[in-house]
Amino acid sequence: MSAVLSEQLRCVPMTEDDLDTVAAMESMLYEFPWSRGNFNDSLVAGYSTWTFRLGAALLGYAVMMLVLDEAHLLNISVHSAWQRRGYGRMLLGHLEAVARRSGAHCVFLEVRPSNVSGRGLYAGSGYRQIGVRRGYYPSAWGREDALVLRKDL
């Protein structure tokens, strides 16, 4: 199933053919990126995996795990050239709609405290902090905490 957000802007399920491009974008965006294998494992596990496209151009991607009545957003990313244009909010909205259709009552995610733009996106979309995972993420100076966020759908 593909969601059309405008004539050329759409969310399309991720396939194995997307993995090289997605992994390359991930490596450009993050100091500690997911590997191609991480994305492949998500496909194999049956997670809700998406690419976000404008025409043929890949703007972003997302991976979400759906379990019973909860969704856990594992990865959501927009190419740096396309950030701050509302595309992250659109992609997040698509994921929330998928979660609702799947019977989820809430979405959980982790975000780095240093990810100011991500934190702003989530706060503006109704996510609230419910906890902290100490030393969750690798960082250049050792480990960084993760803020645990939740949104009721």
Which domain CATH number covers 148? 3.40.630.30
Owner of token pair 């966020």: 149
In tens digits, the chain (153 residues) has pLDDT values of 456 555 588 999 999 999 999 999 999 999 999 999 999 999 999 999 999 999 989 999 999 999 999 999 999 999 999 999 999 999 999 999 999 999 999 999 999 999 999 999 999 999 999 999 999 998 888 999 999 999 999
Give the pLDDT confidence score for residue 139 in this predicted structure.
87
9: CB partners within 8 A, 6+ apart? 52, 53, 54, 90
What are the beta bridge partners of residue 49?
63
Give the pLDDT confidence score for residue 138 in this predicted structure.
85
Burial letters 94-117, b for 16+ CB under 10 A, else e: bbbebbeeeebeebbbbbbeebee
102: CB partners within 8 A, 6+ apart? 48, 66, 71
Give the pLDDT confidence score for residue 143 in this predicted structure.
95
Task: Give the structural domain span for 99.
Answer: 3-152
Give the pLDDT confidence score for residue 140 in this predicted structure.
85
Task: Give me the active site residues, please.
Answer: 110, 122
What gap in Å lies between CA 125 and CA 108, rounded to an integer? 13
CB 106 within 8 A of CB 70: yes
What gap in Å lies between CA 132 and CA 129, rounded to an integer? 8
- The structure tokens listed for 37 are 């294998």
Number of domains observed in the structure of the chain: 1
